[in-house]
Amino acid sequence: MAVLALFHHAGGSAAVFRRLIRLLPDHIRPVAIELPGRGRRWREPTLHTADEAVRDLTDLLVREAGAETDLSIFGHSMGAYLGLGVAAALERRGGPRCRVLFASANLAPRLASPLFAEDETPASDEEVLRRAARYGALDAGALRDPHIAARAVSLLRADFDICDSFVRTRSRTVTESRVVVCRGRADAFGDEHTAPWQWSSVQPLTTLTFPGGHLYLESAGAEPLAAKIESVITEPARSRT
């Protein structure tokens, strides 16, 4: 059975994958892994660097999936960068190896710039929420509750730290995995932003587009995405030459 690891976006949790998980066929086992501070790991302190996050996710994935696994990774937004880091980390460890990295809804890491400058006064809560709102990933109604808003800001700060850390220290990471870029047609990222994902893999790049915006996997894009994931995972492995 093929295993599909699922890594969520900044400020998010495994809940973003609920619809996709329901649509996947029985021969693909989804393993949704969350960073500390949310979901089943809400009591754990949040992480703030790419090194910490990649090590955490890699260790969890090995425990969940086992050493001898037909493994692919689907990383959404921040999760795309962490998926790249985990795929490369698994190659260094010697197994299991990621056969396909689905890099969803994020520009190529070598094009990315940090969201916030280093060694400056921390951004205000309003600025953190403004940054996140650009991608339509915030529930404005829920944020009216001050406790929910404070929790959202805390998670976003931690995850933005991870993203900025990745851009500063790991943007040139290269994997042996096949990279398949997935994005919504109405997302802010077009071909010019995603085509350079090719630099992150030794294999040819594939790009797939779906109806919807940044969170296409929660809307009209979910059904065609699930079908494409199945199609790609069941293809014979490509030669690296």
Q: What is the pTM of this model?
A: 0.94
DSSP 26: T
- Distance, in Å, from the CA atom of 96 to the CA atom of 69, rounded to the nearest integer, reads 6
pLDDT in tens, 1-49: 899 999 999 999 999 999 999 999 999 999 999 999 999 999 999 999 9
Residue 186's Cβ-count burial label (10 Å; 0-12, 13-18, 19+) is middle
Which of 170, 30, 29, 14 has the alpha carbon at shortest distance from 89? 170
CATH number of 2-234: 3.40.50.1820
Domain boundaries, the chain: 2-234
